[in-house]
Amino acid sequence: MLKDKGQVTFEDKWPAMRPIVLKLLKQETVTQTEWQDLFGSVHSVCLWDERGPYKLRDALQQDIMMYIKQAQNRVLAQREDQALLKAYIAEWGKFFTQCNYLPTPFRQLENSINNVSKVSSSNTSSTQKKNNNNNIEDSLVRKLMLDSWNQSIFMDIKQRLQDSAMKLVQAERNGESFDSQLVIGVRESYVNLCSNSVDKLQIYRENFEAAYMQATEEFYKLKASEQLLANGVQSYMKYADQRLKEEEARAHRYLEPGSGSVAALTQCCEKVLIGEHLPTLLAESAPLIKAGETEKLQLMFRLLDRVPEGVTPILRDLEAHIVSAGLADMVASADIITSDSEKYVERLLDLFKRFSSLAKDAFLDDPRFLTARDKAYKCVVNDTTVFKLELPSSALIRGSKGTAPESKCPELLANYCDMLLRKTPLSKRLTSEQIESRLRDVLLVLKYIENKDVFMRYHKAHLTRRLILDSSADSEKEEDMVEWLREVGMPADYVNKLARMFQDIKVSEDLNTQFRTDTTRHDAINIKILNAGAWARGSERVTVSLPLELEDYIPEVEEFYKKKHSGRKLQWYHHMSNGTITFANSVGRFDLDVTTFQMAVLFAWNQRPMEKISYENLRLATELPDPELRRTLWSLVAFPKLKRQLLCHEPVVQNPKDFTENTTFWVNQEFALVKNGKPQRRGKINLIGRLQLSTERSQIEDNHSIVQLRILRTQEAIIKILKMRKRITNTALQSELVEILKNMFLPSKKMIKEQLEWLIEHKYMRRDDEDINTFIYMA
Amino acid sequence: MSGEDCDAFDRGDNDGQKPDKMFTLKKWNAVAMWSWDVECDTCAICRVQVMDACLRCQGESKKDSYGKQDCVVVWGECNHSFHFCCMSLWVKQNNRCPLCQQEWSIQRMGK
Ligand SMILES: [Zn+2]
Ligand SMILES: [Zn+2]
Ligand SMILES: [Zn+2]
């Protein structure tokens, strides 16, 4: 066999091989023998002719190129776009099929060329094995075919191909129909043409996808502006919405699946249709919000949420709307709501519901919009325009130099809560479920209140009144409310104190029962002896000189208590006590529920029933402080419910402030309760009203003690933080402080600063010598 | 205001019998507050007001038994007073009054 070496040459074999190759290229039928001969010839050339494989490859390439040139001529003969695409797709289809056939007989060639290059680059046998095991994708001849196609026909006409394809897409956009297979065919040719095994989509992406994007962008750049100009923003939004959906569907049809093209195209459309017109679109947001156009807003939200920063300005618009609409609403009904806590809370809830349904209907309860609603609603709730509660600036309180005015909301909210929990016309009208749901509403608004400490103070005062006057509508609901307050995060020590009051009232009831069994003659007296720590811290007593009828009881109660307990001292809180007296005059007999102060005033007439007594002398008789006496007298000369008042006075004044030392008072002997215009001879009336426990002085004190309590809480919190951190910067301290105190109130910068100074001065802490903005704990 | 509280009635009880006084007491609901009879409101050991439970009792009671008045006050012979709980722990370490350093002996207990 050796002698045969060099005898078979490429030149010998090729003339016979070539016609078969050409037939294959042209997709003409080849016989079984021809097909097998080709295998054999390739084998011989590779085996005997050292230069054979390269010569074979070059000859093959020449014929491929020649074939492609002919195909190109056939394609380019088509002048019309659709015909051109059709011709191209047909030629490509044929050629691509051959890419899978022609390489097969030449496998031997590939092995020879690869082996030489691999061996010369001293590759391991394992890579050779891998190369021998080659699949059609990696085939050298296939690559030769594809690259040739790419470099010749494709390079020459790809621009026309793309342009034609894009023209078709554009025609479709304009509503004309055509054979979508043409565009898909072109795309497929781009995808399959690529011989780059690392990035198979390279040709597709760089050409087809890029052209598709560009065409789309150009189309909508023009269309968007036209539409906006011609039809305005609202109809444009519908157009854009519809077009975005359409383009997404189209992209799924014409762009390569799994390539990320659809997402890129969608993004491109969003940019052109929305992003580039953002200011124009956003200009409609505020008016739409104001008009409550939820459907249009929903569309706007859906559209603008597609582009970066599209929604942020809408959030701002919503926030601004809630604040201004909310405040306008409050101001418009200021007259009613500042004096009627039920109306006030109802109005606030109404606003909350209104804004919440806006957030739901227009913005689908998107968390960002709910946050905006919360932020704005908080502004409304805490706004001070409608009414202002001046906390006193007082030099008496250490470290304090006065505070800014605050919203009366916490106070009104507490009042409303009281109306629901006390026996009132309102609470009698409502079912238990209704009361519960309204209390839940209170808790909802409470969440938004900055100065929860003010609420707590009023709520506690009301609870005190209800428990002392036994005027709770439902004691179970009372205790539920305490737990609900705990659930919404009111400070534990505050909630515990409320709970303790209930406990204490029960202890006191037991004590009263014992007292009444121990001392039989005291049917007329009930005692409440309460824990001062839970009930009365910081509140001052108002003294009164008791009528003898009452004073008699005091030593007995004290004696009884001393036997029960030791180490305790008792203080009488007569401004909290009350009772029932019978009043007899010429008309009849009436039972009056009165405060102990009212009692003290009225009993002054027992010794001198028909006399006129001067203000001055009543003061001597009762020893009540001036403001208390004025208020008490006023309740007896001008009780709103009464047609005939209990006391008469002279000279007549319109305001308790106008009583003078010499104003005289006498018992109205014509007093009667009037029913249906007729005076009654019997009856019962409650004259306590809102008098009890709300002395003028203690209201001022309430505000004082709120300030004082805030100072104390701030100082405690600062010390707590410093104890933990040892050293801390001013900024970090401020933010930790707000975190600790936020469930009670928002400390002002000014107050924090004052308390820091105070604590430094009193050596609880010091500033760092190196950095005055760092504080150091001093144990 | 409504007329709910104004409950007029006309029953002929005791009609002819005039009471000797114009105003007579029928019922008195008297309110008093108790507190420990101490010189200093704050327990020097736990720094909590003696009217409140000491820190330990507050921590233990939490939800169920607040308001219980188990955490009583104790007075020493020196007249200084503390939470009984606080003092009983204190004397285990140091049998002197934290405030005056006199030897601690109980004068009386609160009840
Ligand atoms: Zn203690
Ligand atoms: Zn204790
Ligand atoms: Zn001592």
Q: What is the pLDDT of residues A443-492, one digit of tens each?
A: 999 999 888 888 888 898 889 889 988 889 998 999 999 999 999 888 88
Report residue A168 as tokens: 């078709």
Residue A67 parent element (H or E): helix A52-76
* pLDDT tens column, A739-763: 888 877 878 888 888 889 888 888 8
> Does residue A568 or residue A153 have the better pLDDT?
A568
- Reported as a single tens digit per residue, the pLDDT across A398-435 is 444 444 556 678 888 898 999 999 998 889 999 999 99
Share of chain B above pLDDT 70, in %: 73
Kindly tell me if the per-residue pLDDT of A131 is higher than 50: no
User: Which of A10-19, A288-297, A687-696, A717-726 is most confident?
Assistant: A288-297
Ligand nearest to the CA of B43: 1
> pLDDT confidence of A75, banded at 50, 70, 90?
confident
Please give the pLDDT value at position A663.
94
Q: Which of B26, B73, B108 sits opposite A580 (nearest CB)?
A: B26
Cβ distance A675 to B73 less than 8 Å, yes or no, reads no
Neighbours of ion ligand 1 (CB under 5 A): B 43, 45-46, 54, 83, 86
Closest listed residue to residue A501, CA positions, set A517, A481, A516: A481
Q: In angstroms, how far is CA A507 from the centroid of its own chain?
A: 45
Average pLDDT of chain A to the nearest whole number: 83
Report pLDDT for A388.
Answer: 53
Interchain CB contacts (distance < 8 Å): A and B: 198
> What are the structure tokens assigned to A104, written together?
């097969």
Asked whether the predicted pLDDT for residue A584 surpasses 90, the reply is yes
Which of B1, B25, B51 is closest, CB to CB, to A532? B51
- Taking CA–CA distances from A536, the nearest residue in chain B reads B33
* pLDDT score recorded for residue B16: 45
Query: For residue A16, what pLDDT is reported?
Result: 76
Decide if pLDDT at A125 tops 50: no
Looking at the complex, report in whole angstroms how far the Cα of residue A542 sits from the nearest Cα belonging to chain B. Answer: 12
CA quadruple A661, A662, A667, A671: dihedral positive or negative? negative
Cβ separation B22–A667 shorter than 8 A = yes
Beta bridge partners of B81: B75
Which residues neighbour ligand 2 (ion) by CB within 5 Å? B 54, 57, 71, 83, 85
- State whether the Cα torsion A247-A251-A253-A258 is positive or negative: negative
User: Which residues of chain B have a CB within 8 Å of the CB of A530?
Assistant: 31-34
Q: How confident is the model at residue A195 (pLDDT cuts 50, 70, 90)?
A: low
- Find the range with the poorest average confidence among A318-332, A396-410, A765-779: A396-410
The more confidently predicted of residues B91 and A47 is B91
Q: Which pLDDT tens digit goes with each residue over A661-713?
A: 999 999 999 999 988 888 899 999 999 876 555 544 455 555 666 777 788 88
The band of A120, judged by pLDDT with boundaries at 50, 70 and 90, is: very low
**pLDDT mean over A546-563:** 90
The closest CB to that of B110, out of A531, A537, A568, belongs to A568
State whether residue B42 is helix, strand or coil: strand
Distance A279 CA to ligand 1 centre (A): 66
- Indicate the pLDDT class of residue A255, thresholds 50, 70 and 90: confident
Amino acid sitting at position A695: T
For the cut 50, the answer to whether the pLDDT of residue A397 exceeds it is no
Name the DSSP class of A154: I
Ligand (nearest to CA of B58): 2
Could you say which residues from 69 to 98 on chain B have a Cβ atom under 8 Å away from some Cβ of chain A?
69, 72-73, 75
**Digit-coded pLDDT (tens) for A369-394:** 999 999 999 999 888 776 654 444 43
Neighbours of ion ligand 3 (CB under 5 A): B 78, 80, 97, 99-100
A360 pLDDT above the threshold of 70: yes
Ligand nearest the Cα atom of residue B39? 3
Query: Are residues B3 and A502, on separate chains, in Cβ contact within 8 Å?
Result: no
Contact A577 B28 (CB under 8 A): yes
Find, among A380, A381, A356, A351, the residue nearest to A369 by Cα.
Answer: A356
Distance from the Cα of A596 to chain B's closest Cα (Å) equals 8
The helix (run of H) or strand (run of E) holding residue A52 is helix A52-76
Q: How many helices (H) and strands (E) does chain A have?
A: 34, 13
| Mutate which: A423, A479, A500, A557, vs B, most B CBs within 10 A | A500
**CA-based torsion, A658, A664, A666, A671: positive or negative:** negative
Q: What are phi and psi of A144, to 5 degrees?
A: -60, -45
Nearest to A567 among B24, B26, B75 (CB): B75
SS3 content of chain A, % helix, strand, coil (to 5): 65, 10, 25
Cβ of B10 within 8 Å of Cβ of A578? The answer is no
Res A181 pLDDT > 70: yes
Helix, strand, or coil here: B107? strand
| Interface-testing mutation among B6, B7, B17, B80, with chain A (most A C-beta atoms within 10 A) | B6
DSSP state string for A102-114: TTGGGHHHHHHHH
Task: State the DSSP string of A683-721.
Answer: EEEE--TT-TT--HHHHHHHHHHHHHHHHHHHHHHHHHH
pLDDT of residue A593: 93
Summarize pLDDT for A84-118 with one digit per residue, the tens.
888 888 888 888 888 877 777 777 777 777 665 54
pLDDT confidence of residue A364: 93
How many CB atoms within 10 Å of residue A560? 18
DSSP state of A566: S
Q: Which of residues 53-72 of B touch A (CB under 8 A)?
A: 58, 66-69, 72
Alpha carbon of B81 to ligand 3 centroid (Å)? 8
Q: Which of A593, A667, A682 sits opposite B9 (nearest CB)?
A: A682
Residue in A closest to B110 by C-alpha: A567
Torsion angle of alpha carbons A247, A253, A254, A258, nearest 10°?
100
- Nearest CA to A651 out of A642, A660, A641 is that of A660
Contacts of A604 (CB under 8 A, 6+ apart): A547, A613, A617, A618, A621, A622
Q: Which residue of B has its CA nearest to A495?
A: B63
